[in-house]
């Protein structure tokens, strides 16, 4: 069975109460439930984790190499600052989909640069919690096209 690691970066644990005009009112728990429901529908296994710590995210990405077939990641603020997360994704060579709730290109100029995008298979942003679901579908579609099974 295809296994996909879904990672949420810093401050995403505050979804539902944090800057609702930007991130919406949906909680992280509700997003995780939607991801799990879609995974069941697609007949894939997902493991979902959230951390505010850059090093913890790096460790999880490194450990994914032998346990998962792909990664869906919302690096949140680390998108624009973390060479370490970028290097970990490049090192494990797993298909990685970068997702964002908000459209990072319609926000402050410093958010327009993603260190993750150059090493990701693709990026989905600006579609709220649907970005995660589209990211999961994209990862599964990529694996199927590459010869993986679900």
Active site residues: 23, 100
d(CA 146, CA 50): 28
**Residue 7 β-bridge partners:** 49, 73
Residue 48 phi/psi, 5-degree rounding, is: -115, 130
Give 5's strand partners.
47, 71
Residue 122: partners with Cβ closer than 8 Å, 6 or more residues away: 97, 98, 138
Angle ∠(125,47,121) on CA atoms, nearest 5: 40
């Amino acid at each position: 069975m295809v296994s996909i690691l879904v990672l949420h970066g810093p401050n995403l644990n505050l979804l539902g109460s944090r800057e609702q005009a930007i991130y919406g009112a949906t909680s992280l728990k509700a997003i995780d439930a939607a991801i799990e429901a879609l995974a069941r529908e697609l007949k894939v296994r997902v493991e979902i984790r959230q951390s505010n710590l850059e090093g913890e995210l790096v460790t999880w990405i490194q450990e994914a190499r032998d346990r998962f077939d792909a990664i869906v990641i919302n690096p949140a603020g680390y998108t624009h600052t973390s060479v370490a997360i970028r290097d970990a994704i490049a090192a494990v060579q797993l298909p990685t989909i970068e997702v964002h709730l908000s459209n990072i290109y319609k926000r402050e100029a410093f958010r327009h640069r993603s260190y993750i995008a150059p090493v990701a298979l693709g990026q989905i942003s600006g579609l709220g919690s649907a970005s995660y679901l589209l990211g999961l579908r994209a990862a599964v579609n990529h694996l199927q096209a590459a010869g993986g099974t679900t």
